[in-house]
Structure 1
């Protein structure tokens, strides 16, 4: 029974020591607020802008502080290793107020939208077919199995047939 009070006293001593050490450890990394910060502080997270303080060396690689610093920098400035996001998709056309008010005008708007989608499909097939044919020729030269080449050729034929059917069923003006 005497071991239990000694263990409790030891645990309390360790807990007290940790409690006393913890605020000092936190204060060491808390930045001093400068009057003019280079970046506006993030809402509710001013520590993120100035961490680590300018008068303190950046943490070494492989430490938990290095990972935290890296995360803070990535949050502020983005990931330098990430590829740029390129969006070349135009904003979708919206119907005008007159088209929304008139059912026939809105049907004409929908018809134009559908024609644009079909024209984009035909254009994509026209661009992709030469590449597919080159791939088939390269595969034939490399000795790819005949059944795999036959499947690829069947896909090319299906794309050609679908394209021809679209052009026949939905002739575009000027084509």
Structure 2
């Protein structure tokens, strides 16, 4: 499996999970054979960049390449800035979260709630892809609920915009 110029040793990918996929866990997963282990979700809110939690999540010391960081938010400009911030701090792949179903994320129109607004999805994807010179990936669900499944349309849109996986 290849994402941009990063040839993974296999297609075993550890999904980003808040409170689970911290740096030691990612290091362990890669040591045990994962081809890629994505970081915990990092907010796109620049006011939180200086927080201890964000600094901890931006620390990739000792990690095996490629380093993939997941960002979340609903504002295209803030998402682009978050992508740049994380690339400047060592991210080699940026993963956009449009799959989280948690209420606290969806209530601010982020995560899987974004799937309700395909024009906004396109704006966010374009902003992030254009902001960084590393591959961008996208985490989505089949839709925002069981009755509204638009994953195929969103995936085609993402591919057209330049999202790598």
- Normalised TM-score (structure 1): 0.16
- Answer with 1 or 2: which has the greater Rg: 1
The structure that is strand-richer by fraction is: 2
Q: Relative contact order (C-alpha < 8 Å, sep 6+): which is higher?
A: 2
The structure that is helix-richer by fraction is: 1
- Normalised TM-score (structure 2): 0.17
